[in-house]
């Protein structure tokens, strides 16, 4: 064993059965020792080499069989495998073989080990299915029409070629892939970043490794782009002969990062506010419910009547405030719907006053009968909030912010004033402040992402406003001058659809058996008392488990299940499903302080929803409608 030759050491690693199997393959297979000398070839490889017997190749290298250039091509990957002792897959294109045929292969190389030491390698050559010309055309198309900026330079940085994206960025519509020939890549890099680029270019060449970095580059029209660069050296015979660069616009990446961070923050805020709103809406349900019931039982001349009226009014305002906070913070997807502008501005005014300083006066003005627009309410709230916050930040000391809403007709005579938006009737929303104003240069960039003139600013607010307005098929404009304040003007199309909610018909239905399931004692007692006054028979349970047990033991029928949506162990949705397995014909009403949008639409099939907080007449009206309909839905 000690006197074995390298070739014998390699062959000993393979059983004769395995070699016989490899010999029958139609794909060329070969084995070499650590000096890259052939020690075994299958019949397919022998045929390609135009050799009659295996012994004619044993002990030889590729240099003894192929022309010098081809031998170097074949050896490069094999030497890399011996150095790294790891499998390698490479592409061999247009290899001139001794049998006179030019072939293209996908070659898989694997190390052959003996007792942990590298003894040689084995190569499997699978002939490429497509002609090389097609493959070249395919990869050429990948480079030329790539979505990212791409360029190839020589080792000195002189540009060899660029793709269409790079030509458009550097030379505009007139540019093509040959426009940059003879120029150096540094010519297009921002002057302040050239030293950084040269340092990393030298590092890439010295280490023969890919480098990634952020850099600024100049476009043909003078704009500065923030790009993420990936530079990969192309190595031939151990020397860097060229470099391949790809660049991605960092604005898109940063926007996605900001959106991700924002969405995570909103999700956390939504969870906190959702829990707060649920508990607070339970309290408001009780406060508003009992104060309304008391108000209905005393005469208007009673000395407490006015005080009770103020409690009812304050409770109603608190209900609207918590609802708007919940809408603004929740993580639901954007769903445009018709909103009444006058009502929405009145609701948002209370929130806006909380974000400005005491020395800043906020005035909300709105014309009569404005009608409705179609937009996601949370998105509309963000537009108002961001504009008011921006106005507040511009005011140093005392000042005033005026939010006004009116209507305007856009036609051919004035469309050019509003970026040529479609003719029609639009909401004209203005936010004006008496702040420091801004220069023309600043105005040109205020809607750019991450642009800010305020220390610690994120540069996201106005960009988000612009995006929301454009998504709603509107337009936004700004008027400002240094020390002259700023006015933002937004146009949003009015909705052509006006749907009036039908008022429920009064009902005299009484005597129904209703099961109320609510883990909050005060809410459960309130709902029970309201429905008892209406003449219904009421059963109560503190949780889902008790409700199911009661339903199984109760000898009479149960007509309606009214349950809180969020409860421990068994929530309202699960309870409704289990209850219908016991009582298939029972009607169901869900009530919650979270809001209807947190329930999947398919789960609300055949279920009525009642938003907390509610007034006694709201509950009675909803129950009346349920029983007045033949179906179990509202």
* 101-119 pLDDT, tens digit each: 888 888 999 998 887 788 8
Q: Which one, of 407, 301, 316, lies nearest residue 618 by Cα?
A: 316
pLDDT of residue 550: 94
Two structure tokens written together for 571: 């929530």
Mean pLDDT of 45-68: 90
CB 477, CB 447: distance < 8 Å:
no
Contact residues for 516 (Cβ-Cβ < 8 A; gap 6+): 524, 527, 528, 531, 538, 539, 540, 541, 562, 563
Does residue 131 have a pLDDT over 60? no
Q: Around Cβ 119, how many Cβ atoms within 10 Å?
A: 22
pLDDT value of residue 411: 84
- Predicted local confidence at residue 575, as pLDDT: 92
Q: Are 262 and 460 in contact (CB under 8 A)?
A: yes
Q: How far apart are alpha carbons 268 and 229 in whole angstroms?
A: 34
- The mean predicted confidence, pLDDT, of the chain is 82
What mean pLDDT is predicted for residues 163-168? 88
Instruction: State residue 501's pLDDT score.
Output: 44
When pLDDT is cut at 50, 70 and 90, the band that residue 4 belongs to is very low
Averaged pLDDT, 372-376: 88
The burial of 630, by beta-carbon neighbours within 10 Å (0-12 exposed, 13-18 middle, 19 or more buried), is given as exposed
pLDDT tens sequence across 442-477: 888 788 766 777 766 666 778 888 888 888 888 899
Q: What is the pLDDT of residue 537?
A: 95
Cβ neighbours of 423 (radius 10 Å): 13
The pLDDT, as a whole number, for residue 62 is: 92
pTM of the full structure: 0.41
Q: What pLDDT, on a 0 to 100 scale, did the predictor assign at position 274?
A: 63
pLDDT digits (tens, 9 = 90+) for 146-161: 878 888 899 888 988 8
pLDDT tens, residue by residue, 424-448? 899 999 999 998 888 888 888 788 7
CA angle centred on 165, ends 163 and 168, rounded to 5°: 110
Mean pLDDT of 510-523: 92
Higher pLDDT, 350 or 376: 376
Q: Three-state SS for 410? A: strand
Instruction: Give tens-digit pLDDT for 534-553.
Output: 899 999 999 999 999 999 99
pLDDT at 525: 93
Sorted by where each starts, the structural domains of the chain and their CATH numbers stand as 6-129 (3.30.450.20), 135-253 (3.30.450.20), 336-498 (3.30.565.10), 513-628 (3.40.50.2300)
Nearest to 258 by CA among 504, 520, 449: 449
* 136 close to 156: Cβ distance less than 8 angstroms: no
Band of residue 140 on the pLDDT scale cut at 50, 70, 90: confident
Mean pLDDT over 486-493 rounds to 92
Q: Is the pLDDT of residue 264 over 60?
A: no
* % of the chain at pLDDT higher than 90: 22
């Amino acid at each position: 064993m000690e006197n074995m030759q390298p070739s014998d050491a390699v062959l000993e690693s393979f059983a004769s059965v395995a070699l016989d199997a490899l010999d029958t393959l139609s794909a060329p297979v070969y084995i070499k020792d650590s000096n890259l000398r052939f020690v075994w070839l299958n019949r397919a490889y022998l045929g390609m080499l135009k050799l009659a017997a295996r012994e004619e190749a044993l002990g030889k290298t590729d240099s003894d069989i192929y022309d010098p250039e081809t031998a170097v091509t074949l050896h490069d990957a094999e030497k890399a495998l011996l150095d790294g002792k790891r499998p390698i897959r490479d592409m061999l294109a247009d290899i001139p073989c001794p049998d006179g045929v030019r072939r293209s292969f996908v070659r898989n190389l694997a190390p052959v080990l003996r007792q942990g030491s590298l003894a040689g390698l084995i190569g499997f050559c699978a002939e490429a299915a497509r002609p090389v010309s097609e493959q070249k055309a395919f990869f050429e198309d990948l480079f030329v029409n790539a979505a990212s900026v791409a360029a190839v330079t020589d080792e000195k940085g002189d540009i060899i070629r660029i793709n269409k994206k790079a030509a458009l960025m550097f030379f505009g519509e007139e540019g093509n892939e040959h426009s940059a020939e003879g120029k150096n890549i540094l010519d297009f890099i921002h002057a302040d970043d050239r030293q950084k680029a040269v340092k990393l270019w030298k590092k890439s060449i010295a280490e023969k490794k890919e480098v990634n970095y952020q850099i600024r580059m100049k476009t043909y029209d003078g704009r500065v782009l923030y790009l993420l660069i990936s530079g990969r050296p192309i190595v031939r015979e151990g020397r860097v002969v060229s470099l391949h660069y790809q660049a991605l616009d960092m604005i898109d990446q940063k926007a996605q990062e900001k959106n991700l961070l924002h969405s995570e923050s909103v999700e956390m805020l939504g969870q906190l506010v959702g829990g707060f709103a649920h508990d607070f809406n339970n309290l408001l349900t009780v406060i508003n419910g009992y104060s309304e019931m008391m108000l209905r039982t005393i005469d208007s001349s009673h000395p407490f009547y006015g005080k009770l009226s103020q409690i009812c009014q304050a409770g109603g305002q608190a209900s609207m405030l918590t609802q708007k906070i919940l809408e603004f913070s929740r993580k639901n997807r954007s769903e445009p719907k018709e909103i009444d502008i006058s009502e929405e501005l009145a609701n948002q005014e209370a929130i806006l006053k909380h974000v400005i300083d005491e020395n800043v006066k906020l005035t909300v003005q709105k014309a009569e009968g404005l009608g409705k627009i179609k937009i996601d309410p949370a998105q509309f709230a963000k537009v108002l909030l961001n504009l008011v916050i921006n106005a507040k930040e511009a005011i140093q000391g005392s000042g005033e912010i005026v939010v006004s809403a009116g209507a305007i007709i856009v036609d051919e005579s004035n469309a050019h004033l509003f970026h040529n938006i479609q003719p029609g009737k639009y909401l004209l929303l203005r936010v004006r402040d008496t702040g420091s104003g801004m220069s023309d240069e600043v105005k040109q960039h205020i809607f750019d992402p991450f642009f800010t003139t305020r220390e610690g600013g994120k540069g996201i607010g106005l960009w988000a406003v612009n995006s929301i307005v454009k998504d709603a098929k509107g337009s936004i404009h700004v008027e400002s001058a240094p020390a002259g304040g700023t006015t933002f003007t937004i146009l949003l199309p009015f909705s052509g659809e006006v749907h009036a909610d039908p008022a429920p018909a009064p009902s005299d239905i009484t005597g129904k058996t209703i099961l109320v399931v609510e883990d909050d004692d005060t809410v459960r007692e309130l709902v029970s008392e309201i429905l008892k006054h209406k003449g219904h028979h009421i059963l109560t349970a503190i949780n889902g488990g008790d409700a199911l047990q009661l339903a199984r033991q109760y000898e009479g029928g149960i007509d309606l299940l009214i349950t809180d949506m969020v409860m421990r162990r068994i929530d309202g949705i699960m309870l409704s499903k289990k209850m219908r397995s016991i009582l298939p014909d029972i009607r169901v009403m869900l009530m919650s302080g979270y809001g209807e949008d947190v329930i999947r639409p398919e789960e609300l099939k055949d279920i009525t929803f009642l938003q907390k907080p509610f007034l006694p007449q709201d509950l009675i009206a909803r129950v009346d409608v349920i029983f007045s309909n033949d179906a179990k839905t509202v």
